[in-house]
C-alpha cells in the first residue's frame, strides 16, 4: 500500500478509535438513530394517512355517481389503469372497498382522526367483519391504543372481544398521536402493497432507507465488537505508515 495513503488512513483510524472509546459519542449516535427512526415512522404514517383519505374521497365520488350503473366501477378501474399503468390500488375490487368504506364511515373527520391512523388492510378487515360503526370504532380504538397487527386484530374479532367488552367500556377518545405502540402499526403499514403503490411516482423508498440505517448500524456494531480485528488492522497501518 502507498505510504501516504496508509498515513491518512491511520489518522482516520485513530480518530475513529477515539470516538469508539467515548461514551458521549455513542449517546449522540443513539440520539441521531432515534431521530432517523422517528422521521421515517412519521413519513410512512403520513403517506398512509393521505392514502386512506384519498380512498374515502374516491368512495364518495363513486357513491355520488352511482346513477351511471353497474359498469361504472368497471369502467373507472379500466380508465385509471390506462392513466396510471403501474398503479395496483385501483382494481375493481379495491374501488368497491372504497365505496363500502365511504358508506361505512360517513364522516371525513372520523377518517382523519381514526381510520387514517392504521393501514388500508386494517380498514378493509374491519369493514368486512364489523356490523356497525360503533363496532368499527371500538376495534379501531384498540388498534391505535395497543398497536395491533393485522393478525392480532383478526384474532380479537374472531374471539368477539367487542361483544364481550364493549358494554363495560366507553372508548370516546379516538384522536391519537404517534406513540410507541404505533411502531408495530408502522411495520404493518410497510407490509401493505398499497402504500408503496401510492408513493411510487414520488420515488420514495422507505425500505431502502431503513436498510441503509440497519446496514450502518450493523457495520458499526461489527467494528466495535470485533476488537481484535480492529486492533490488528490498526497495527498493520501503523507499521506501513511509519
48 band by pLDDT with thresholds 50, 70 and 90: confident
For the cut 50, the answer to whether the pLDDT of residue 149 exceeds it is yes
Q: Can you give the residue range of the structural domain that contains 134?
A: 3-241
Burial class from Cβ neighbours inside 10 Å (0-12, 13-18, 19+) for residue 80 reads middle
Residue 100 CA, distance from chain mean position: 24
Average pLDDT on 126-133 reads 95
For the cut 60, the answer to whether the pLDDT of residue 222 exceeds it is no
Let me know: does 159 contact 201? Beta carbons within 8 Å.
no
- Please report the pLDDT score of residue 194 as a whole number: 63
- Please report the pLDDT score of residue 70 as a whole number: 80
Q: What angle do CA 122, 128, 133 make, to 5 degrees?
A: 85
Instruction: Report the number of distinct structural domains present in the chain.
Output: 1
Measured N-to-C along each axis, helices 120-129 and 150-158 cross at an angle, to the nearest 10 degrees, of: 10
Percent of the chain with pLDDT over 90: 42
**If you write DSSP's letter for every residue of the chain in order, what string do you get?**
--HHHHHHHHHHHHHHHHHHT-HHHHHHHHHHHHHHHHHHHHHHHHHHHHHHHHHHHHHHHHHHTGGG-TTHHHHHHHHHHHHSTT--S--HHHHHHHHHHHHHS--HHHHHHTGGGS-HHHHHHHHHH-SSHHHHHHHHHHHHHHT--HHHHHHHHHTTHHHHHGGG-----------TTHHHHHHHHHH-HHHHHHHGGGT--HHHHHHHHHHHHHHHHHHHH-HHHHHHHHHHHHHHH-
Higher pLDDT, 76 or 238: 76
For the cut 50, the answer to whether the pLDDT of residue 233 exceeds it is no
- Report pLDDT digits (tens) over 157-201: 999 999 887 556 544 444 443 444 555 656 666 566 665 565 554
212 band by pLDDT with thresholds 50, 70 and 90: very low
- Report pLDDT digits (tens) over 8-40: 555 566 566 666 666 776 677 778 888 887 777
Higher pLDDT, 93 or 206: 93
Average pLDDT on 40-64 reads 88
pTM confidence score: 0.62
Percent of the chain with pLDDT over 70: 57
64 band by pLDDT with thresholds 50, 70 and 90: very high
Higher pLDDT, 185 or 60: 60
Residue matched to cell numbers 450502518: 216
What is the rounded average pLDDT for all residues in the chain? 74
Average pLDDT on 117-121 reads 93
Amino acid at each position: 500500500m502507498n505510504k501516504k495513503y496508509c498515513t491518512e488512513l491511520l489518522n482516520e483510524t485513530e480518530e475513529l478509535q477515539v470516538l469508539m472509546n467515548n461514551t458521549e459519542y455513542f449517546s449522540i449516535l443513539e440520539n441521531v438513530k432515534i431521530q432517523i427512526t422517528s422521521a421515517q415512522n412519521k413519513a410512512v404514517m403520513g403517506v398512509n394517512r393521505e392514502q386512506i383519505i384519498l380512498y374515502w374521497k374516491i368512495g364518495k365520488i363513486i357513491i355520488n355517481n352511482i346513477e351511471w350503473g353497474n359498469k361504472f366501477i368497471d369502467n373507472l378501474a379500466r380508465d385509471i389503469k390506462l392513466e396510471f399503468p403501474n398503479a395496483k390500488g385501483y382494481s375493481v375490487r379495491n374501488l368497491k372497498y372504497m365505496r363500502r368504506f365511504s358508506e361505512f364511515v360517513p364522516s371525513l373527520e372520523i377518517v382523519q382522526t381514526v381510520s387514517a391512523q392504521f393501514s388500508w388492510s386494517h380498514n378493509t378487515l374491519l369493514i368486512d367483519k364489523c356490523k356497525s360503526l360503533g363496532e368499527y370504532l371500538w376495534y379501531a380504538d384498540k388498534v391505535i391504543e395497543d398497536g395491533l397487527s393485522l393478525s392480532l386484530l383478526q384474532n380479537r374479532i374472531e374471539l368477539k372481544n367487542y361483544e364481550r367488552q364493549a358494554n363495560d367500556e366507553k372508548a370516546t377518545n379516538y384522536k391519537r398521536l404517534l406513540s410507541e405502540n404505533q411502531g408495530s402499526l408502522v411495520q404493518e403499514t410497510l407490509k401493505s402493497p398499497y402504500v408503496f403503490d401510492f408513493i411510487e411516482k414520488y420515488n420514495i423508498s422507505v425500505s431502502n432507507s431503513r436498510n441503509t440505517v440497519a446496514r450502518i448500524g450493523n457495520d458499526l456494531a461489527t467494528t466495535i465488537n470485533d476488537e481484535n480485528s480492529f486492533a490488528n488492522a490498526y497495527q498493520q497501518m501503523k507499521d506501513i505508515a511509519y
